[in-house]
Amino acid sequence: MSDHDTEPATYDVAATEQKWQQVWGELDIFRADDVAVASGQREKRYALTMFPYPSGDLHMGHAEVFALHDVIARYWRLRGFEVLDPMGWDSFGLPAENAAIRNNEHPATYTYANIETQASSMRRYGLAFDWSRRLHTSDPEYYRWTQWLFLKFRERGLAYRKKSPVNWCPHDQTVLANEQVVDGACERCGAVVTKRDLTQWYFKITDYAQRLLDDLDTVADAWPNRVVVAQRNWIGRSEGAHVDFVVEGREEPLRVYTTRPDTLYGATFMVVAADAALAGELVSDAQRAAYDTYRDEIRKASDIERLATDRPKSGVDLGVTATNPVTGEQMPVWASDYVLADYGTGAIMAVPAHDQRDLDFARTFGLPVRRVVDTGEENPEESGVATTGDGVYVASGPLDAITDKATGIRTMIERLQDEGTGQGTVNFRLRDWLLSRQRFWGCPIPVIHCPTCGEVDVPLDQLPVELPELRGADLKPKGVSPLAGAEDWVNVDCPSCGGPARRDSDTMDTFVDSSWYHLRFTSPGHTEGPFDVAKLRLWGPVDQYVGGLEHAVLHLLYARFFTKVLHDMDLLDFVEPFTALLGQGVVINNGKKMSKSLGNGVDLGDQLDTFGVDAVRLTLVFASPPEDNIDWADMSPAGSSKFLQRAWRLSGDVTSVAGSDPSTGDMAMRRVTHRTVHEAQELVESHRFNVMVARVMELVNATRKAIDSGCGPADPAVREAVEVVAVLLSLVAPYTAEEMWERLGHQPSVAQADWPVLDPALLIEDSVVAVVQVQGKVKARLDVAPDIAEVDLEVLAMADPDVVRAIDGREVRKVVVRAPKLVNVVV
């Protein structure tokens, strides 16, 4: 009986998890060392995963993103980088507040209890986080600096208040940013969003629209394409012109934005957004009553109704006319809800022949249609279909000889600029970021409203403005912030004049908190500013960000905006926060999103109890490419568990001693090992983790075979192979890998092991299979030397009996040789 026959065939998963959690805690090996980076001893890598919101325990989605993230962080560590791999919580937000109302508690109770639950689950899950850098956005030490940043933004004119129609969620009783309204409904609760005229705080993200667009190019290669595209669409840059129209009896011209100034000769009327102040200013006395009626009507309509594109056009004649600057014609000015108040100038020139919406409107109200571009298609006046393509300009004065849009637009803009009636300009779809929220559990806005001084900043040395103690019923949404009711808190002396004043009672959108947390992680205890500029210089920017893509135009856009502003404030020296982004898919069950109402949720804790941490992690990593969705019903965690036991068993079979020289070992086994290491490197770096796992499985299979029916368990090549299995598995299944590493006679931890050193000589096979095709179909396989000459390979191939038979005496027209892999005979 050899020693390994008496080993147990399996290991105790639960006991192993207990054991290593303790060892890892004592070793404290995942702490990121500023000095190692500052001294140039090791190159830095910053690996970051989107920090969670603390609602309940971790779920399957967290399990996936953390497993993927950990592969990268652990790989970097093994490759000798100094890795910053921090974790924290995005701990302000509505669910805590709603839970507090339900349970008559303080939101902090719910929040911090959940944080502890999640932190303990993360430890169990075996993640290589540097816990010394933990932060919570709801801690005063953190949100003090969120407030500081707000005031700095305000100082630069990037935070301002304005009254405007805003998105209002009647369920959550708060306003929402444009980005949080999805198909006319609240992103969070699904309630239909309505409009309210409110004075709210905004960040001037539109000032950065062009840079946010341009700099996407610098990350486009390392970000998922769909995020780059989504942001481009969201920013929505368009090129066009402003054109001024003189309105009788009004000093200021009526300015419009158009992308088709070249069709100005075809403009037959004007339309102003019905809900814009401009419409009220323009309307004639005779038409005022009709306009008021119309405006009140459309204000009642929800965004959902407005969004219906096949909705019939409606509007009202404002009873005034504007002068077309090129034709001198008087055109009627209308108001309609198909023109948006907050895009462009809130007014358009209507060219019904060449814009479908204008044509629909013209046909509804019997307004004239004048074709000025002949595209060869039927005249829109008859067909009812507007033409938008290139064509010959007609009845367009100096444009008449022109045959393409680009020249037409350029020519018209030049003329308008010469005459002072218009100019070329750029417009963006992006709107300013509405950041006030009428809720309690968020970062207070550090501004005081004084009846004499107006909006006054809370002095920097008085930050943070801490939340008052409110709980239960006091938190019930009433349409104004619960903070407004905390009289002791709200009523303060004006910092400027000392008179009675009131604090701003709104809190900030939680996306403000998460727009800079990645910077704070570089110096989480810093008390002199939001982060230590020198430390950030060491670690920033994030080298690899991992997270869900539901934030494509939310967090990922806001964080980019913050980065650019802070760059302009000389607080950091990069312009993009996340150099590379990996967007993981969603874990679903039986083809459907997991949800309480469907009752198809898979509980992560249950899965971990049943299969063990490693098996669940392995299953998630092996399931598919990281960015694809995973249907848990199609997965086999039991299979993963079986594989891990199989791999673990190898470590008990090795009979050579630790430190044996592998160079005396079996060459075939060594080649497999080294090829696996080589491929694993490339696969991890290109994020094809599922294939990396497959290669490790192949190595395990090959090693099993070598032990049972090959070079045997004593061969040092077998030890080398099993050690490589342990190191590679440590990226995905750290518990099993530690057990293996220990059984192989090494000191913990495998997380501190050296990445296997590749022997390039072992990557060269001693023979390769050359495929011989006739007419592109495989007819023979030849074992040849990897460095075989093309002529030799061709001779060998043409002599092969199967090849000769396939050619069947036909004339060989051409032979393609790609030594040493392939020959294709064309007959």
Within 10 A of 775 (CB to CB), how many other CB atoms are there? 12
Span interacting with RNA, options 48-56, 278-286, 496-504, 640-648, rule CB under 7 A: 640-648
| DSSP percent split of the chain into helix, strand, coil, nearest 5 | 45, 20, 35
User: Three-state DSSP class for 15?
Assistant: helix
Span interacting with RNA, options 230-238, 287-295, 451-459, 475-483, rule CB under 7 A: 230-238
Decide: is 778 part of the binding site for RNA (CB under 7 A): yes
Which residue type does 807 have? I
# residues contacting RNA (CB under 7 A): 84
Round to whole Å and give the CA distance between 621 and 614: 10
Which one of 225, 379, 491, 595 is in contact with RNA (CB under 7 A)? 225
Span interacting with RNA, options 282-290, 486-494, 724-732, 814-822, rule CB under 7 A: 814-822
Bond from prior residue into 505 cis (ω within 30 degrees of 0): no
Span interacting with RNA, options 379-387, 493-501, 620-628, 790-798, rule CB under 7 A: 620-628
**175-194: contacts with RNA (CB under 7 A):** 182
**113-172: contacts with RNA (CB under 7 A):** none
Decide: is 380 part of the binding site for RNA (CB under 7 A): no
Bridge pairing between strands 592-593 and 581-584: unpaired
Decide: is 316 part of the binding site for RNA (CB under 7 A): no
Decide: is 634 part of the binding site for RNA (CB under 7 A): yes
Decide: is 781 part of the binding site for RNA (CB under 7 A): yes
Min dist CB 397 to RNA, Å, is 20
Within 10 A of 169 (CB to CB), how many other CB atoms are there? 24
Decide: is 584 part of the binding site for RNA (CB under 7 A): no
Bridge pairing between strands 544-548 and 581-584: parallel
Span interacting with RNA, options 117-125, 206-214, 335-343, 465-473, rule CB under 7 A: 335-343
Min dist CB 369 to RNA, Å, is 15
Round to whole Å and give the CA distance between 191 and 169: 7
Bridge pairing between strands 822-826 and 768-774: parallel
Decide: is 21 part of the binding site for RNA (CB under 7 A): no
Decide: is 776 part of the binding site for RNA (CB under 7 A): yes
β-bridge partners, 450? 454
Closer CB to RNA, 573 or 708, in the complex: 708
**339-358: contacts with RNA (CB under 7 A):** 339-340, 343-344, 346, 348, 355, 357
Closer CB to RNA, 384 or 625, in the complex: 625
Decide: is 691 part of the binding site for RNA (CB under 7 A): yes
Decide: is 598 part of the binding site for RNA (CB under 7 A): no
**263-292: contacts with RNA (CB under 7 A):** 273
Decide: is 771 part of the binding site for RNA (CB under 7 A): yes
Unique residue bearing structure tokens 């044996």: 660
Which one of 36, 122, 213, 822 is in contact with RNA (CB under 7 A)? 822
Decide: is 6 part of the binding site for RNA (CB under 7 A): no
Decide: is 818 part of the binding site for RNA (CB under 7 A): yes
Min dist CB 51 to RNA, Å, is 22
Closer CB to RNA, 109 or 624, in the complex: 624
**234-253: contacts with RNA (CB under 7 A):** 234, 236, 238, 240
Which one of 156, 311, 476, 478 is in contact with RNA (CB under 7 A)? 311
Decide: is 338 part of the binding site for RNA (CB under 7 A): yes
Decide: is 307 part of the binding site for RNA (CB under 7 A): yes
Closer CB to RNA, 250 or 642, in the complex: 642
Decide: is 309 part of the binding site for RNA (CB under 7 A): yes
Decide: is 807 part of the binding site for RNA (CB under 7 A): no
Which one of 375, 407, 425, 636 is in contact with RNA (CB under 7 A)? 636
The CA-atom distances, in angstroms, between 715 and each of 653, 668, 710 are 11, 12, 10
**50-89: contacts with RNA (CB under 7 A):** none
Tokens found for residue 812:
């060989």
- Judging by beta carbons within 10 Å of its beta carbon (0-12, 13-18, 19+), is residue 451 exposed, middle or buried? exposed
Min dist CB 367 to RNA, Å, is 15
- DSSP class of residue 6 equals G
DSSP states of 469-501: ---GGGGS--SS-GGGG-HHHHEEE-TTT-SEE
User: Three-state DSSP class for 245?
Assistant: strand
Angle at 38 between CA 32 and CA 39, to 5 degrees: 110
Decide: is 566 part of the binding site for RNA (CB under 7 A): no
Estimate the crossing angle of helix 667-685 against helix 60-78, to 10 degrees.
Answer: 120
Decide: is 630 part of the binding site for RNA (CB under 7 A): yes
Min dist CB 132 to RNA, Å, is 36
Round to whole Å and give the CA distance between 711 and 769: 23
CB 430 within 8 A of CB 235: yes
Min dist CB 267 to RNA, Å, is 10
Which residue type does 248 have? E
Decide: is 798 part of the binding site for RNA (CB under 7 A): no
Decide: is 693 part of the binding site for RNA (CB under 7 A): yes
Which one of 166, 412, 552, 796 is in contact with RNA (CB under 7 A)? 552
Tokens found for residue 415:
């003329």
Decide: is 810 part of the binding site for RNA (CB under 7 A): no
**695-724: contacts with RNA (CB under 7 A):** 697-698, 700-701, 704-705, 708
Could you tell me which residues come within 8 angstroms of residue 8 by beta carbon, excluding any fewer than 6 positions away? Answer: none
Could you tell me which residues come within 8 angstroms of residue 783 by beta carbon, excluding any fewer than 6 positions away? Answer: 767, 768, 769, 770
Which one of 177, 553, 732, 751 is in contact with RNA (CB under 7 A)? 553
Which one of 173, 258, 411, 544 is in contact with RNA (CB under 7 A)? 258
3-state SS, 632-682, equals: HHHCCHHHHHHHHHHHHHHHHHCCCCCCCCHHHCCHHHHHHHHHHHHHHHH
Within 10 A of 795 (CB to CB), how many other CB atoms are there? 10
3-state SS, 401-462, equals: CCCCHHHHHHHHHHHHHHHCCEEEEEEECCCCEECEECCCCCCECCEEEECCCEEEECCHHH
Decide: is 449 part of the binding site for RNA (CB under 7 A): no
Pick from 526, 404, 399, 418: which is nearest to 135 by CA?
526
Span interacting with RNA, options 51-59, 451-459, 626-634, 784-792, rule CB under 7 A: 626-634
**518-547: contacts with RNA (CB under 7 A):** none
CB 697 within 8 A of CB 689: no
Min dist CB 104 to RNA, Å, is 37
Min dist CB 437 to RNA, Å, is 20
Decide: is 306 part of the binding site for RNA (CB under 7 A): yes
Decide: is 260 part of the binding site for RNA (CB under 7 A): yes
Decide: is 109 part of the binding site for RNA (CB under 7 A): no
Which residue type does 527 have? T
**486-515: contacts with RNA (CB under 7 A):** none
Interface map 642-671 toward RNA (x if CB under 7 A) = xx-xx-------------------------
Decide: is 826 part of the binding site for RNA (CB under 7 A): yes
Decide: is 624 part of the binding site for RNA (CB under 7 A): yes
Closer CB to RNA, 230 or 290, in the complex: 230
Round to whole Å and give the CA distance between 61 and 44: 28
Min dist CB 351 to RNA, Å, is 7
Bridge pairing between strands 330-336 and 269-273: parallel
Min dist CB 447 to RNA, Å, is 29
CB 513 within 8 A of CB 137: yes
Tokens found for residue 328:
């001198």
